[in-house]
């Protein structure tokens, strides 16, 4: 079966910034596929290349078997794209914005009114359709964005961080709508740095870090590959590295401990992978007490997608976000946004 989206060996550089180093992934028809990673990982650049908004330096991109590089117009007809940033004309009503979108997509005149009525009803926007979009809340604006992306009935709906800035109620409404689209056969490709969003929605997921795919599969498969359970431990709120190293050496000798990672970005806390064992937490605490090491905080949990990321990179997604924010070059970002 022809994939809904096929990306092979994608590369994109902005000057000295290697935004996408080598990304390959395949999205199956009728699934929700998630791209998970911190800001700066290459998610948005990948989507912009897919949607023909940015020309890649190298690689292959196909949408329903059509090359987005050799035949961008035909590829665009098969795609609906909802960007992270919303910049509508706030004077126009929701209906007028959709009429403008329909004209841009060259929809047949006879189909425009019934199709707009259909998407407005689908997204619960009927009572807001004739009001200026400048009066919409963030959640309503995102729904109008989704309506615009679906207007031409695309094979693939591409969403870049669709729930950023939304309250919990609006986020859940978007999640439920995306599940409804999947049930109707629409393929959805979604980027996010919200772990719970991808875990709740995605049939399969690719985790991206520094422009490459570091792991891919169903959420359950990714967690199973990591294996074991997790114990997160803080000896002190901010532990000296030598004390954290001492604790790691001690805990690695315990029979149920498979791996110990020191998380320097979070006060040299320790992340343990342990064999599922009801006594693991007690054994770890006893070993620390006998060695004269304190316990500031300790918790045990099942593996999460953050554990998958941690196991692959040695840092959590939050750490990666903070590192990206700290190293961000405003001048480079301005240049990138102008391309």
pLDDT band, residue 119 (cuts 50/70/90): very high
Q: Inform me whether the pLDDT recorded for 251 exceeds 90.
A: yes
Domain boundaries, the chain: 5-222, 228-302
pTM, to two decimals: 0.77
- Picking from 189, 192, 193, 214, the residue whose alpha carbon sits closest to that of residue 204 is 189
pLDDT band, residue 72 (cuts 50/70/90): very high
Q: What is the mean pLDDT of residues 29-55?
A: 93
Degrees, nearest 5: CA angle 286-292-295 = 60
Question: Does domain 228-302 sit in CATH 3.30.70.100?
Answer: yes
**pLDDT digit string (tens) for 260-315?**
989 887 889 999 989 887 788 999 999 999 999 999 999 988 888 888 887 777 77
- Picking from 108, 177, 110, the residue whose alpha carbon sits closest to that of residue 149 is 177
The pLDDT value given to residue 273: 87
CATH topology of domain 5-222: Rossmann fold (3.40.50)
pLDDT band, residue 249 (cuts 50/70/90): very high
- Measure the CA–CA gap between 42 and 64, rounded to whole angstroms: 23
The pLDDT value given to residue 329: 52
Q: Do domains 5-222 and 228-302 have the same CATH topology?
A: no
Q: Which structure tokens are listed for 242?
A: 């030598």
Q: Which residues sit opposite 20 in a β-bridge?
A: 12
Phi-psi region of 153 (alpha: psi -120 to 50; beta: other; left: phi over 0): left
């Amino acid at each position: 079966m022809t994939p809904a989206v096929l990306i092979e060996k994608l590369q994109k550089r902005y000057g000295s910034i290697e935004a996408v180093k080598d990304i390959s992934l395949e999205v199956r028809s009728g699934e929700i596929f998630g791209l998970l990673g911190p800001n700066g990982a290459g998610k948005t650049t990948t989507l912009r290349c897919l949607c023909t908004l940015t020309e890649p330096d190298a690689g292959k991109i196909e949408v329903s078997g059509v090359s987005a590089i050799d035949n961008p117009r035909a590829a665009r007809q098969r795609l609906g794209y909802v960007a992270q940033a919303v910049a509508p004309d706030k004077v126009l009503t929701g209906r007028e914005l959709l009429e403008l979108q329909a004209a841009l997509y060259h929809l047949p005149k006879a189909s425009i009114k019934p199709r707009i009525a259909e998407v407005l009803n689908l997204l619960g926007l009927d009572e807001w359709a004739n009001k200026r979009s400048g009066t919409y809340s963030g959640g309503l604006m995102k729904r109008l964005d989704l309506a615009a992306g679906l207007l031409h009935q695309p094979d693939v709906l591409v969403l870049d961080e669709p729930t950023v800035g939304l309250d919990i109620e609006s986020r859940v409404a978007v999640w439920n709508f995306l599940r409804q689209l999947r049930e109707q056969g629409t393929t959805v490709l979604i980027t996010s740095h919200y772990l719970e969003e991808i875990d709740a929605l995605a049939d399969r997921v690719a985790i991206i870090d520094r422009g490459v795919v570091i792991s891919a599969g169903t959420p359950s498969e990714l967690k199973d590959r990591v294996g074991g359970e997790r114990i997160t431990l803080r000896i002190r709120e901010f532990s000296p590295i030598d004390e954290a190293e001492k604790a790691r050496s001690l805990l690695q000798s315990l029979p149920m401990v498979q791996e110990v990672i020191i998380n320097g970005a979070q006060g040299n806390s320790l992340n343990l992978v342990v064999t599922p064992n009801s006594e693991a937490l007690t054994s770890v605490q006893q070993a620390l007490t006998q060695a004269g090491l304190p316990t500031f905080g300790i918790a045990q949990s099942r593996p999460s997608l953050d554990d998958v990321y941690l196991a692959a990179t040695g840092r959590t997604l939050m750490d990666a976000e903070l590192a990206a924010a700290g190293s961000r070059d405003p001048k480079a970002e301005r240049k990138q946004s102008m391309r």
